[in-house]
């Protein structure tokens, strides 16, 4: 069984983009590249390489060797281009392979993935990765955004989830995933699976999910809840499609339309969308990996009326290279508004994607900035412009997420602003 099936899509998504340093637009000019070399910025590793004419050697931007003179440096997009130009690899930073710290983390992950049933201590993992336990712990969390222990827990959950989805009985699946007892199994994974392991295996069989729909300024909303809490808040234009999607995802659960039971939750959503409240306080019952949970927690800490970029969220988590992993976690959010993924925009302020439509995202950001009612018709054009930005050099208005002067709201007596755009 593949021990890293689900974890690879989330906790290790940072590896897919680590050489891109989280932003395709970074280090595109010679001045930016030289600044990165002067700072020995590890975020620039993989973005470009530089050759030194006087030595005939090419290096990574973070190479610890003596800083060359600017006039003796030329830049290359990749290592092959540097070799073609006649440069040889630096023996210190070894630009032809992975950065040393990434290779260490890969070795640690390989050791953790080798046997799903093993519970390696930090000392054993440090021995496998050829690094002290203390430094490995710090490095692992800095690169992946989770600790080795959290990684192991998420990996065991992934193995269990795959086995249950394939129909394996709970006892066998828990043993294969490395859970030594049934009590440890039920204590550890209920939060990640979103339901008991037996219910997950049966695709919700035995569960009762109550749901209700309502008309909102953003179109139709569907709210669904188990006995533990809200498991879905979704927007759409077709109520039939929303309920059909719920039935598909919980194929064997008993889904009951119950407007009365969900009325208090619908009332909170309605008040939020009409500007009568700034926070949604709902009990949640959702599945999340360790990394997804950290991202969603960070989203819930974004103040009302403000936005953050995917890069800023990744930096908040201590994993600045995991930008795409952050975007993936935002896209997998099953409860709109309760986890405000609409407050995350691109680094330059553009709206980027939103699983319920860019027009809705633009309307939410606009309403929160005004502390007023959602007006989707007034912001649909802004969403279209975000998908089709004007040509370079043309004039355009400020976009959500761009820097604005703090503005005093005399009615509410508070200051609202959006974060500074970074180039």
Phi, psi (deg, nearest 5) at residue 232: -160, 135
**CATH 1.10.10.10 for domain 290-390+398-416:** yes
Question: In which band, very low, low, confident or very high, does the pLDDT at 20 lie, cut at 50, 70 and 90?
Answer: very low
Residue of 59, 63, 93, 255 with catalytic role = 59
Q: What pTM was estimated for this model as a whole? A: 0.51
Higher-scoring residue by pLDDT: 173, 36: 36
Superfamily covering domain 100-201 = Homeodomain-like (1.10.10.60)
H or E stretch covering 234: strand 230-236
For domain 16-89, give the CATH number.
3.40.10.10
Given a contact cutoff of 8 angstroms between Cβ atoms, the answer to whether 268 and 281 are in contact is: yes
- Ordered alpha helix ranges (H), 166-237: 170-176, 182-193, 197-201
Give the range with max mean pLDDT: 103-117, 296-310, 361-375. Answer: 296-310
Whether pLDDT at 171 is above 60: no
Query: What average pLDDT does range 296-303 have in this prediction?
Result: 93
Query: What average pLDDT does range 411-422 have in this prediction?
Result: 39
Q: What residue spans in the chain does CATH classification 1.10.10.60 cover? A: 100-201
Residue of 63, 93, 255, 341 with catalytic role = 341
Higher-scoring residue by pLDDT: 328, 20: 328
Whether pLDDT at 222 is above 90: yes
Q: Which CATH architecture has domain 208-273?
A: 2-Layer Sandwich (3.30)
Taking only the tens place, the pLDDT of each residue in 271-289 is 999 888 888 888 888 877 7
- How many angstroms separate the Cα of 157 from the Cα of each of 87, 178, 397? 47, 9, 46
Q: Is 109 an active-site residue? A: no
Q: Is 59 an active-site residue? A: yes
Query: What average pLDDT does range 96-115 have in this prediction?
Result: 78
H or E stretch covering 233: strand 230-236
């Amino acid at each position: 069984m593949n021990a890293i099936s689900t974890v690879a899509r989330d906790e290790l998504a940072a590896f897919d983009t680590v050489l891109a340093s989280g932003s395709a637009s970074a280090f595109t000019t010679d001045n930016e590249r030289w600044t990165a070399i002067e700072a020995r910025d590890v975020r620039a590793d993989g973005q470009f390489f530089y050759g030194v004419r006087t030595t005939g050697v090419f290096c990574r931007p973070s190479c610890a060797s003596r800083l060359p003179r600017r006039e003796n440096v030329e830049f290359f997009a990749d290592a092959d281009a540097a070799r073609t130009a006649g440069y040889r690899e630096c023996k210190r930073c070894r630009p032809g392979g992975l950065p040393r710290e990434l290779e260490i983390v890969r070795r640690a992950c390989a050791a953790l993935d080798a046997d799903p049933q093993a519970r390696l201590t930090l000392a054993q993992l440090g021995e496998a990765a050829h690094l002290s336990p203390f430094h490995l712990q710090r490095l692992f969390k800095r690169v992946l955004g989770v600790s080795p222990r959290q990684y192991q827990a998420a990996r065991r959950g992934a193995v269990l989830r795959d086995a249950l989805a394939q129909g394996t009985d709970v006892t066998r699946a828990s043993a294969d995933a490395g859970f030594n007892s049934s009590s440890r199994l039920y204590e550890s994974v209920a939060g990640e699976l979103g339901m008991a392991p037996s219910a997950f295996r049966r695709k919700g069989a035995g569960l009762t999910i109550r749901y209700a729909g309502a008309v909102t300024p953003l179109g139709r909303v569907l709210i669904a809840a188990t006995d533990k809490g809200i498991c879905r808040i979704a927007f759409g234009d077709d109520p039939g499609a929303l309920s059909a999607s719920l039935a598909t995802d919980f194929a064997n659960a008993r889904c009951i339309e119950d407007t009365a039971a969900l009325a208090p939750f619908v009332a909170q959503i309605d008040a939020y969308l009409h500007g009568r409240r700034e926070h949604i306080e709902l009990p949640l019952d959702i599945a999340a990996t360790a990394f997804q949970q950290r991202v969603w927690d960070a989203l819930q800490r974004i103040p009302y009326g403000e936005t953050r970029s995917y890069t800023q969220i990744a930096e908040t988590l201590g994993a600045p290279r995991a930008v795409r992993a952050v975007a993936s976690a935002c896209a997998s959010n099953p409860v709109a508004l309760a986890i405000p993924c609409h407050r995350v925009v691109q680094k330059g302020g553009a709206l980027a994607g939103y699983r319920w439509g860019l027009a809705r995202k633009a309307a939410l950001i606009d309403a929160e900035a005004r502390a007023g009612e959602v007006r989707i018709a007034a912001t649909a054009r802004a969403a279209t412009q975000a998908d089709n930005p004007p040509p370079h050099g043309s004039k355009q208005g400020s976009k959500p997420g761009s820097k604005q002067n703090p503005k005093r709201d005399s009615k509410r007596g508070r200051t609202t602003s959006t974060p500074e755009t970074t180039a």
